[in-house]
């Protein structure tokens, strides 16, 4: 699970949010958002839906992500997670049952592991 840092915002179940989110280090999505985010950590909970663009250091997807996702560090797609769109990542882990579709590529500037 990604670590929480600094300013944290949770969009609870049943909440719909549209717009741009700024100065938010950790965004937890339990409801539905259609936003642009630049932050540190994105968590989309089971039942949560994120539509839009996100540029973060770490992401954990248990719900649904649709759009453009850039993760400089670790992207974790849990067994109930569905990611669709353009995805760039530093490291990726997809649990059995998790889904990722679209354009998927490793970030060129990501830190490479020295172990094989």
Q: What is the DSSP string of 43-64?
A: EE-TT-EEEEEEEESEEEESSE
Alpha carbons 86 and 12: distance in angstroms, whole number: 26
Which pTM value belongs to this model?
Answer: 0.88
3-state helix, strand, coil in the chain (%, to 5): 0, 60, 40
Do the beta carbons of residue 62 and residue 46 sit within 8 Å? yes
Average pLDDT, 10 consecutive residues per value, the chain (116 residues): 72 96 94 96 97 97 98 97 97 96 84 44
Check residue 115 and give its pLDDT: 42
Check residue 49 and give its pLDDT: 98
């Amino acid at each position: 699970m990604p670590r929480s840092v600094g300013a944290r915002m949770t969009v609870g179940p049943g909440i719909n949010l549209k717009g741009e989110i700024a100065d938010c280090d950790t965004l937890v999505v339990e409801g539905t958002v259609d936003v642009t985010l630049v932050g540190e950590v994105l968590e989309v909970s089971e039942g949560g839906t994120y539509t839009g663009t996100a540029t973060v250091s770490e992401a954990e997807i248990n719900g649904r992500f649709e759009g453009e996702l850039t993760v400089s560090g670790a992207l974790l797609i849990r067994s109930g997670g569905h990611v669709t769109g353009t995805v760039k990542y530093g490291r990726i882990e997809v649990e059995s049952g998790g889904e990722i579709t679209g354009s998927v590529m490793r970030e060129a500037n990501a830190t490479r592991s020295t172990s094989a």
